[in-house]
Chain A
Amino acid sequence: MTKKQYAFYPGCSSQKGASASNFATSIEVMCEKLGIQLNEIPDWNCCSASIGYGDGGLLPRLVLNARNLALAEQHLPGQDMVSGCPACWLSTRETAEKLHESGSLMAEANEALKEAGLSFKGTVRARHIVEVLVEDVGFAGMKQPVVKPLEGMKIAGYVGCQTNRPFGIAGESFENPQYLDKMIETVGAEPASGYEQKVTCCGGALAFSEPDKSQKQIRDIVESAYDHGAEMIVTPCQLCQANVEIYQSEINKKQGTKFAMPVVYYSQLLTVAYGGSLKQAGLDGHVIQPEKLQQIAVRQK
């Protein structure tokens, strides 16, 4: 099978030893089984995320992203640029669109890029891995490699913000997107229907600066998963995953709750369902252990 080629932008949190390093691990088997080849963009840099605006300003932020686009255009011509992190995807896509729409911004960006020995023509499309799965592979394609259906698991599909807004996945609604629930079904598990915190904000970067306000958001997200009988939350977002998993212990400490709701990535579900090991699925990278999924991962068929 010839593999589909993509220019891959991992992003800072997916680096070795960083907060979403287990996400990076978990996409390898998934991509292998689905015939997706991710070619890492050489020397990529940070997108400046959603909090970079404070000190960054518009043009410096656009230019950081234009550098990645220019590197992809130069080294991996003709390939769509794909990111697994919603903040990376959002920043890159916003940059590609803004530069495409404004000749003067494009000229200014190129004037700055020249300082780093680069130029950007504007030929690269910025996409999210979920788009690749839904649009290029399709749900039938995602189902094909399933050898270990996750039967008997009820999972709350927590989409969060930036995979969903402002761009979102084509054809989905902002208020109640369906693709994550469909992915849960595709791997043989049951989505927690009526999970009303599906697109609630976890506080994002403000989990650092406004912990109490953010932890109120996180409490709602976790509590609703319990209320709907879910034994696990699944998300496409690195910051959602970290915030919702990590701060449960803080909420327990401050508010006397007894939360221990595992939070995993869609890619970990797919990898386990495709027969990947516990390690290949990055399931050794959790603060709250997703025990049931770990058990399925170590089980022989």
Chain B
Amino acid sequence: MSDHNQHAVAHYRNNFLREVEDRVEDGEWVKMCMQCGVCAGSCPFGPHWEHSPQKIFMMIRAGKREEVLASDSMWMCTSCYNCIVRCPRKLPITHIMHGLAHYAHRLGVAPKGQPTREVARLFWNNLARSGRVNELRFSLAMYFKDGFVQGIKNSLAMQGIGIGLMKAKRLNPMEILGGHKCRDKDGIHKMIAKAREIEERKQGFTS
């Protein structure tokens, strides 16, 4: 268990709902859920979730901390916002799912090797580096995330698509050398570091 996770457990004891309200994006909305299930029925990846948003909300209230944070359900969110616009109580469900996923990731208790968690991490690293996304490097990082041999296999499997996109001038092999970037990337790095520092202080990760 990570230090951050231990501190959180010690601080909130058995009150997981309060922990979510304090530390998770839009967490204060969780108690408004009336368990109607419209979110569960509206999710495009609904059949693939172990726990629908409706279940997650009830589990939070029931204090099932470990099961919620270790669930891979939040990582199945495609950000389609169907649940948000259909929720009769107007809960920002998509944001809460993102918030829970990020919180579990931050605590180090999110499921290891969860593919969307990996993609999310690689995407953020990619954009934070130069201020803009480098699509070629992002794709390659994804193919090679499980090692070199698997990376070659993945690249070969996706070769047709890559060549098609290059022919259409929608994938530039020269991006490997750096490609597009912001002029003030140093400013962006400092700005992100400051935002992270403020957020961590606010959420009690640092004093």
Contact = CB atoms under 8 A, between A and B. Distances in A.
A284 B164 CA distance: 12
B191 A53 contact: no
A173 to B, nearest CB: 10
Name B's interface SS: helix
Interface stretch (A74-82, A105-113, A136-144): A105-113
Interface in A17-72: 17-22, 43-46, 48-60, 62-64, 67
B191 A54 contact: no
B52 interface: no
Contacts of B123: 49, 51-52, 54-55, 205
A111 B195 CA distance: 8
Contacts, number: 215
B85 A108 contact: no
Given A51-B79, A53-B99, A109-B195, 18 more contacts: A17-B179, A21-B169, A45-B131, A49-B133, A50-B78, A53-B101, A57-B195, A58-B102, A62-B195, A63-B191, A63-B195, A161-B82, A174-B85, A210-B48, A249-B160, A249-B161, A287-B164, A287-B167
A79 B194 CA distance: 29
Interface of B: 25, 44-45, 48, 75-76, 78-82, 84-86, 94, 98-99, 101-102, 105-106, 115-121, 123-125, 127, 131-133, 135, 142, 160-161, 164-165, 167-172, 174-175, 179-180, 182-184, 187-188, 190-196, 198-199, 202
Contacts of A58: 25, 99, 102, 199
A5 B164 CA distance: 36
A204 B142 CA distance: 16
A162 B116 contact: no
A113 B194 CA distance: 9
B184 A165 contact: no
10 contacts: A18-B135, A43-B182, A43-B184, A54-B101, A54-B120, A161-B81, A205-B120, A209-B115, A214-B78, A287-B164
A45 B199 CA distance: 21
Contacts of A205: 78-79, 116, 119-120, 123
A203 interface: yes
Give the interface residue-count category, chain A. 35 or more
